[in-house]
């Protein structure tokens, strides 16, 4: 990293008698590392923006209401996507609009930290925490005339970062309420997304759990793709370089690392999950001292979800610690933060569960045993349904389904499975098709039900019901038709 820009930026802070926070200095360092000049701002222009997403529609509606409340106040309200691309801009103050155009803070421009340096919206996205950047706290001097407050917005179902709400005004104006307004708008956007997202329950909040994990070897019966990935992870752990297991969410990345660690005798393993942005300091204090212990290994899960300044801290720990003491998981190698990539010697890809049908039944039996505390049997019809369903949520979805199926029984039957699993996954259904499929499955789940009784209950002919069974891949109950 070049240090000239950073040194100049810190000298400016000293000259103006300001005391920058740790997060600001870390952002300045990254901005200097990107080679950004101090005196100009030149964000990339991406052109068209996605204005059809649930995030955009919800956020735009919230900002329109806030804009009406603010009236003639010189405040620009914006949404950005997860990459810092400005999606919209609401402002009635012509002078402020002209000034924002001069620095390209406008729809279609990329205002991420990589292209615009330290700004409120760039730092809010990088660190995933509400952020206020005032005047000369910006990396680029061209932005010193503005104060920016931004709050990240996450999908209320998945917890994925989807963008930010950004409020910008003149630097000489009061900023007391600016950050509070941005946070309120962000939370209101998430609430509206939840209400419009088919009533999904919000995800449980992660608090950066640090747990010692038991590592008994419990992968009996798993198929060749799992075995091959585990063997590769084991070989990497035995070497000097770090290992990253990549794959879709819920696929079993951390479980694979635990299984590989189980084959290394005598090592204590900690599994570290990403914290909420405000908890990064205490999160690091929980597990960072363990890196000095030669008998301890650490799995840092989902490094692609870490706030930027947490990434910098972890990278510093890895640079000072023993090689290979930390393994990590991420969606793919490109999602591993740049500062952590030098510490990845081997990348192990774990295929999604739909490509590992041999693993479905062994995992189902294991999850059932965990839920019931004793052996559980899966009947043949349920086996067929489980192995033909594509499992878009991977092993996490399978665990949830199995726990529900064995809530009151020691046998998993096809009637205990959700409609979508019973129907298989032959093609993507429309909303009306999905409703029709679920009604047929519900009728067939009644005691003594047959296709004939389902046809009567649904007001369909028997031949129509049989065609729907074939179309949706529904397996009717065994027994003579009536």
- Look at residue 266 in the predicted model and tell me its pLDDT: 62
Look over the chain and give the mean of its residue pLDDT values, rounded to a whole number.
84
C-alpha to C-alpha distances, 435 to 176, 419, 429, 441, 463, nearest whole angstrom: 50, 10, 9, 10, 19
pLDDT band at 15 (very low <50, low <70, confident <90, very high): low
- Angstrom distance (rounded) from CA 319 to CA 341: 12
C-alpha to C-alpha distances, 309 to 10, 14, 29, 41, 127, nearest whole angstrom: 18, 22, 11, 23, 6
All residues at 6 or more sequence positions from 160 whose CB lies less than 8 Å from its CB, including other chains: 154
pLDDT band at 103 (very low <50, low <70, confident <90, very high): very high
What CATH number was assigned to the domain covering residues 210-351?
3.40.50.300
- Look at residue 432 in the predicted model and tell me its pLDDT: 72
Per-residue model confidence as pLDDT tens digits over 350-407: 988 988 888 999 999 999 988 888 888 898 888 888 988 889 889 999 999 998 888 8
**pLDDT at 455 exceeding the cut of 90:** no
- Angstrom distance (rounded) from CA 77 to CA 70: 10
> Percentage of the chain surpassing pLDDT 70?
85
| Strand ranges inside 286-359, DSSP E | 296-300, 326-330, 346-349
- Look at residue 3 in the predicted model and tell me its pLDDT: 47
**pLDDT at 478 exceeding the cut of 80:** no
**pLDDT at 16 exceeding the cut of 60:** no
Q: Where are the domains of the chain?
A: 4-196, 210-351, 362-472
Please provide residue 284's backbone torsions phi and psi, each rounded to the nearest 5 degrees. Answer: -65, -40
* CATH class label, 4-196: alpha beta
Lowest mean pLDDT among 75-89, 107-121, 373-387: 373-387
- Look at residue 481 in the predicted model and tell me its pLDDT: 39
- Angstrom distance (rounded) from CA 25 to CA 479: 72
What is the SS3 assignment for 254?
A: helix
- Angstrom distance (rounded) from CA 9 to CA 304: 28
Helix 380-388, helix 360-372: angle, nearest 10 = 120
pLDDT band at 480 (very low <50, low <70, confident <90, very high): very low
Per-residue model confidence as pLDDT tens digits over 191-240: 999 888 765 555 555 556 666 666 555 555 788 889 889 999 988 888 76
- Angstrom distance (rounded) from CA 289 to CA 306: 19
Lowest mean pLDDT among 94-98, 414-418, 445-449: 445-449
For the whole prediction, is pTM greater than 0.75? no
Q: Which fold has domain 362-472?
A: Helicase, Ruva Protein; domain 3 (1.10.8)
The residues facing 85 across adjacent strands are 110
- Angstrom distance (rounded) from CA 285 to CA 278: 13
More confident residue, 429 or 91: 91
């Amino acid at each position: 990293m070049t240090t000239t820009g950073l040194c100049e930026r810190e000298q400016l802070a000293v000259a103006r008698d300001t005391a920058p926070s740790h997060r600001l200095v870390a952002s300045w360092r990254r901005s200097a590392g990107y080679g950004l000049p101090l005196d100009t701002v030149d964000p990339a222009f991406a052109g068209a923006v996605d204005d059809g997403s649930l995030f955009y529609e919800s956020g735009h509606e919230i900002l329109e209401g806030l804009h009406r409340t603010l009236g003639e106040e010189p405040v620009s309200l914006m949404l950005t996507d997860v990459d810092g691309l400005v999606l919209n801009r609401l402002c009635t103050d012509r002078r402020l609009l002209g000034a924002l155009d001069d620095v390209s803070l406008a729809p279609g421009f990329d205002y991420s930290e990589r292209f615009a340096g330290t700004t409120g919206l760039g730092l809010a996205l990088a660190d995933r925490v509400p952020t206020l950047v005032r005047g000369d706290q910006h990396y680029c001097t061209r932005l010193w005339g503005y104060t920016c407050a931004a709050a990240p917005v996450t999908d209320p179902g998945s917890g994925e970062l989807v963008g930010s709400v950004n409020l910008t005004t003149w630097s000489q104006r009061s900023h007391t309420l600016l950050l509070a307004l941005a946070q309120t708008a962000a939370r209101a956007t998430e609430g509206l997304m939840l209400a419009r997202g088919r009533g999904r329950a919000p995800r449980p909040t992660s608090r950066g759990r640090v747990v010692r994990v038991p590592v008994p070897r419990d992968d009996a019966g798993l198929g060749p793709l799992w075995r091959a990935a585990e063997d590769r992870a084991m070989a990497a752990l035995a070497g000097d370089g770090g290992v990253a297991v990549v794959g879709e969410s819920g696929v079993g990345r951390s479980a694979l690392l635990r299984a590989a660690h189980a084959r290394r005798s005598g090592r204590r393993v900690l599994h570290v999950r990403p914290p909420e942005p405000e908890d990064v300091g205490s999160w690091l204090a929980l597990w960072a001292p363990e890196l000095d212990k030669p008998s301890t290994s650490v799995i840092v899960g989902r490094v692609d979800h870490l706030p930027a300044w947490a990434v910098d801290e972890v990278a510093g720990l890895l640079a000072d610690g023993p090689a290979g003491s930390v393994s990590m998981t991420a969606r793919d190698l490109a999602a591993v933060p740049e500062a952590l990539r030098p510490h990845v010697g081997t990348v192990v890809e774990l295929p999604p569960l739909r490509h590992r049908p041999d693993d479905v039944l062994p995992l189902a039996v294991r999850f059932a045993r965990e839920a019931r505390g004793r052996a559980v049997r899966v009947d043949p019809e349920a086996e067929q349904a489980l192995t033909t369903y594509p499992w878009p949520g991977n092993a996490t979805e399978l665990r949830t389904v199995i726990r529900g199926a064995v809530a009151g029984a020691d046998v998993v039957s096809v009637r205990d499975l959700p409609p979508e699993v019973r129907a298989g996954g032959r093609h993507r259904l429309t909303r009306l098709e999905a409703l029709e499929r679920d009604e047929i499955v519900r009728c067939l789940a009644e005691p003594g039900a047959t296709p004939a009784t389902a046809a009567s209950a649904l007001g369909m002919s028997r031949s129509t019901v049989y065609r729907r069974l074939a179309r949706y891949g529904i397996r009717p109950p065994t027994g003579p038709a009536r």
